[in-house]
Structure 1
Amino acid sequence: MARADTLARARKLDRPDLAYIVRFASADGVKDMELTRTELAEAASWVSARLSEHGLSAGKRALITASGYEGFWVHPMIKGLGALRVPYGIAEGMGWDHRRAGVFQRELRPDAVIGLTAETLEGLAGAADLAETFRATSLILARPDALPVLRGAGVPAFAMTTVGPALALECPARAGAHVDSGAWRLSEEDGQLSIAAGEHRRSALAPTPLGIAGRVVTDRCACGNEDPRVLLAQADQR
C-alpha cells in the first residue's frame, strides 16, 4: 500500500482527544492529570501571545532547551513559535547536552533562548563567558535555578517555570510569571501555592496544594495582561 493511501486511511480513524498524561509533584506526592489536544491548541495560542509581547515575530530565531518528559509545555511552545513563523532548534535541558546548546547559540544566533536550566549554564560557563555568550540574545526565558546565575553574570533574563502542570511565563514588565487564567486557577495559603483546573479546561483537577513557596498576584499587570502572576520565593530577585 502506498504511503499516501496509508495516511489517507489513518485520517479516517477515530482520534482520541487525549494527548498527554501530565505527572507533576504536589504537596501530597505525585499527581497525574489528562491533557487533551484541544487544550494543547489553546495553550499554544496563549504561549504565542506571550512570546509576541516579548517582540518575537516572523524571521527571528529561537532555541528551546528542554527534556522529553516536558512535552506538555514544549508542544505548545513549538506550536506557538510556529504561529509566529519563528524557526527554532532544540537542545536537551540536561547538562550533558550543553555543547549542543552552545553550537546552536554560536551558529544559529537565536533571538530567543527558552527554558535555560542551571545545568546547561554550568556546562556553557566552563567553555565561555556567559555575558558574552548571550550578549546578542534579546530574550532569555530561564528556569528559576538558572535566573540567579544569569543575573549574577549580568545577563538580563525572564522567569519561565512550571507551577504543577501549568506553565508560567514572565512578561516584559518583570512583575511575575503569568499563568493562563482560562486554563488554571491559582491560589495561595500561608505562602504556599495551590492549583486547580480553570473554567476552559476539559480535564478535571481539584484544588491541589503544590508545596511550592510563592505568592499569587491578581491585579492587572503593567503589561496589560490580566492573567494572574506567580512570584516564586527562589525567583523573586529583581
Structure 2
Amino acid sequence: MTRADTLARARELDRPQLAYLVRFPTAHGTGETDLTWAQIDHDTAWIAGRLREHGLAAGRRAVLTASGFEGFWCHAMIGALRTLRVTYGIAEAMGWDHRRTAVFHRELAPQAMIGLSAETVEGLSGAADVGEMFRSTSVVLARPTAVPLLHAVGVSACVLAPLGPALAIECPERAGAHVDAAAWRIGERDGQLTVAAAEGRGSPLAETPLGVVGRVVTGRCGCGSDDPRVLFAEANQLSPARS
C-alpha cells in the first residue's frame, strides 16, 4: 500500500470529537473543560479574523511564542496562520528559549510577533536592544505583563492573553482585548475576571473565577466588533496614546 493510499484510508476513519482536555489555572486551583475538533475549527476562524484585522495575509511572516501546555489555543492560532497562508516559526514562550525567538526574528524578518511573554522580552533585553528589534515589526501581540515592558522602549504592542480556556486578542483600535462572544462569557467579580462557556460552545463550563485582575468593556468597538473586551491592569501601564 502506498503512502497516498494509507492517507486516503486514514481520512475515512472515524475521529473522536474530543481534541483536548484543557486544564487551566483558576483563582481556586485548576479548572478543566473539553475542547472538540469542531470547537478548534470555530476558534481557528475567529482568530483568523482577528489576525486579518492586523493586516496578516498571504506572503506575510510571523513568529509565534507559546508553551506546550498552551496547545489548546496554539493549535487554533497555527490553523489561523495557515488559513491566511502566513509563513511562521515557533519558539517557546519561556525565557530560556529567547535566543530562538531572536534567531527567527533575524532570519524571517517577520511582520508579526505573536505571544511575546515578559520572560522572553527580559531574556532578549540581556543581549539586544528590544526596542530596536521590534519597533519596525508591524504587529506585536504580547502577553499583558510584557506589554508595559515593550511600551517602555517604544514598541506599540497589542495584547494577546489566554484567559483560562479562552483567548483575548486586541484589535488595532487598542481599546481592550476581544474575547469571542459566541464561545465564551467573560465577566468580572470583585475586580477579577471570570470565564464561562457560552450557550453554543457545546462543552459546559460554569462561571469560573480566574484570579486575573481586569475589567470587561461591552458595546461596539471602533473596529466594528460587538465582542466584549478585556482591559488588564498590567497592559494599561505606560500604554502609548493611539494616533
TM-score, structure 2 as length reference = 0.94
Shift of 1:103: 0.8
Q: CA RMSD in A?
A: 1.2
Query: Which residue of structure 2 aligns with residue 231 of structure 1?
Result: 231
TM-superposed CA distance for 1:61, in Å, is 0.5
Partners of 2:70 and 2:43 in 1: CA distance: 14
Amino acid in the other structure paired with 2:226: E
Show the counterpart of 2:48. Answer: 48
2:24 maps to which residue? 24
Q: Which moved more, 1:14-23 or 1:120-129?
A: 120-129
After TM superposition, list the pairs within 5 Å mapping 1:50-69 onto structure 2. Answer: 50-69=50-69
Aligned residue pairs total: 238
Q: 1:179 aligned to 2:179?
A: yes
- How far does residue 211 in structure 1 lie from its aligned partner after superposition? 1.7
> How far did residue 155 of structure 1 move?
0.9
Aligned twin of 1:128: 128
Identity of aligned residues (%): 62
Q: Deviations over 1:80-123 (max 9, x none)?
A: 11111111011111111111110111110000000001111122
Residue in 1 that maps onto 2:169: 169
1:153 aligns with 2:187: no
Offset at 1:2?
3.7
Question: After superposition, what is the alpha-carbon deviation per residue over 1:141-165, rounded to whole angstroms, capped at 9, x for unaligned?
Answer: 0011111111111111001101111
Deviations 1:18-72 (A, max 9, x none): 1111111112210111000000010010000001111111111000011111111
Secondary structure at the residue paired with 1:227? coil
Deviation string 1:179-207 (CA, Å, 9 cap, x unpaired) is 00000011112212111101221111111
Match of 2:219 in 1: 219
Tell me the equivalent position of 1:201.
201
Q: Which amino acid aligns with 1:82?
A: R
In structure 2, the residue corresponding to 1:199 is in which secondary structure? coil
The one-letter code sitting in structure 2 at the alignment partner of 1:211 is G
**Structure 2, unaligned runs of 5 or more:** none
Single out whichever of 189-198 and 56-65 deviates more from structure 2.
189-198
1:11 and 1:156 map into 2 onto residues whose CA distance is 44
**Which amino acid in the other structure matches residue 186 of structure 2?**
L
TM-score (norm 1): 0.96
